[in-house]
Amino acid sequence: MAYDFPASPTPGQTFNNYVWDGEKWKLQSPPVTGAVRYDIAQGLTSTQKAQGRANIDVARKNYIINGAMMVSQENGTTAGNINGYWPADQFVGVITATTAVVTIAQVASRTPSGSPNRIRVAVTTADAAVAAGDSVRIQHAIEGLRVADLMAGTSSAKTITIQFGVKAPAGTYCVAIWNSAVNQSYVAEYVIAAGEANTDVIKSITLTLNTTGTWATDNTPGLYVMWTLMSGTTSQMAANIWGGAQFLGTANQFNCMGTINNVFELFDVSLTEGATAPPFAVPDYASELALCQRYYHKQNAYLMGYAAAGSSTGQFFNYPVRMRANPTVAPFTGGAYSNASAGSPSGGNDMGFRAVLSPTVTGMGYYDNFTFVANARL
């Protein structure tokens, strides 16, 4: 049988049971349909490529840092109950207006992926009447440099999938996305069915990033992801559309703060490009710690130096990784002095800082086992 083959074919183009290999039409035996080839180039769409990667569990960049909740430099496993408490690096609890009281902490509890840790929010004082300005959320900010390739704010804005593990009471919950300027919001719902209540389940939402607006691509926040536990009417919008600033939930948002002893747990978090997400992979702890230390670093140190009484001496401390920006170095805590009355940070940059002390009498002064904190969080 004779065929009128297409003129000017491109490599990988098929016609009936033939494929153009760049030089000639080659019979496929057996015929291949819907397959990824390895011998010649193919003109696959971005959707086909994404599905192919998902089918074979190809690892993709997870834009979330510390999604396994293993790193908690500031607070370890100590629970807190204040607005702005960090139970794990890169994840902060934000509590606004509500009279509810919660504890939030990194806890040792094995996740379905094998991570030893998760974040737990437990209600200790309930707030059943949600006022307009009430809200409670877990928030994660991603640096603009890290998400620049997602092309948000352009006509080429990518589709992303946020996948996460959750354990919570039954109800409708929301995940919110904000842009860097915090003047665009997207809210998506997910449902914990009655049969899933208070058990480990994996949920995901898929959306296309907005093609307009301000989305930083430098070392400032590029986008924010939030898991909402309570949302008053002030921060509610319709689901699955891009809207105005700082919305967190829909009118269907379940009030997890409504009953004492309610528990919400978050774990195994990923944000990947494409309409499907691969199974969560627990990252290497040392590599994840280094990523976290770009934003926050806590360390015990020793300071010593020789100087005359009334003058000062010091040394430079290098950070383990270059920080996102010149951090704020907090006053030193703990430790013990010997022939010195004070030790303090004095200048620095995103690579390290100088610490100084003043000997009481001429000679060697010491400041033993103090703690310093460098904070360049988003």
pLDDT tens, the chain, 378 aa long: 566 788 888 888 888 778 888 888 888 766 556 677 766 677 777 667 766 766 666 667 999 999 999 999 999 999 999 999 999 999 999 999 999 999 999 999 999 999 999 999 999 999 999 999 999 999 999 999 999 999 999 999 999 999 999 999 999 999 999 999 999 999 999 999 999 999 999 999 999 999 999 999 999 999 999 999 999 999 999 999 999 989 999 999 999 999 999 999 999 999 999 999 999 999 999 999 999 999 999 999 999 999 999 899 999 999 999 999 999 999 999 999 999 987 899 989 999 999 999 999 999 999 999 999 999 999
The dihedral built from the CA positions of residue 34, 36, 37 and 43, taken in this order, carries a sign that is: positive
116-120-124 Cα angle (round to 5)? 150
The residues, any chain, with a CB within 8 Å of residue 150's CB and separated by 6 or more, are 63, 157, 158, 160, 209, 273
DSSP track, 312-359: -EEEEEE-SS--SSSPEEPPPBS-EEESEEEEEEEEEETTEEEEEEEE
Measured in residues, the chain has a length of 378
Question: Using CA atoms, how far apart are residues 270 and 258, in angstroms rounded to an integer?
Answer: 28
Please, are residues 288 and 209 in contact by the beta-carbon 8 Å criterion? no
Backbone φ and ψ for 130, nearest 5 degrees, come out as -80, 115
The dihedral built from the CA positions of residue 97, 98, 99 and 105, taken in this order, carries a sign that is: negative
Domains of the chain: 14-43 (no CATH), 85-291 (2.60.120.260), 295-375 (2.60.40)
Question: Using CA atoms, how far apart are residues 166 and 173, in angstroms rounded to an integer?
Answer: 11
Ranges of H-type helices in 140-281: 144-147
The dihedral built from the CA positions of residue 147, 152, 155 and 158, taken in this order, carries a sign that is: positive
Q: Which pLDDT value is given to residue 90?
A: 98
DSSP track, 140-158: EEEEHHHHGGG-TTSTTPP
Could you tell me the end-to-end alpha-carbon distance of the chain, in angstroms, rounded to an integer? 66
Residue 30: asked if its preceding bond is cis (omega within 30°), the reply is yes
Q: Which pLDDT value is given to residue 91?
A: 98
Q: Which pLDDT value is given to residue 32?
A: 57
Place of tokens 């109800």: 171
| pTM attached to this predicted model | 0.86
- Half-sphere exposure of residue 302: CA atoms within 13 angstroms, side-chain side: 5
Q: Which pLDDT value is given to residue 61?
A: 93
Backbone φ and ψ for 339, nearest 5 degrees, come out as 55, 45
3-state secondary structure at position 185:
strand
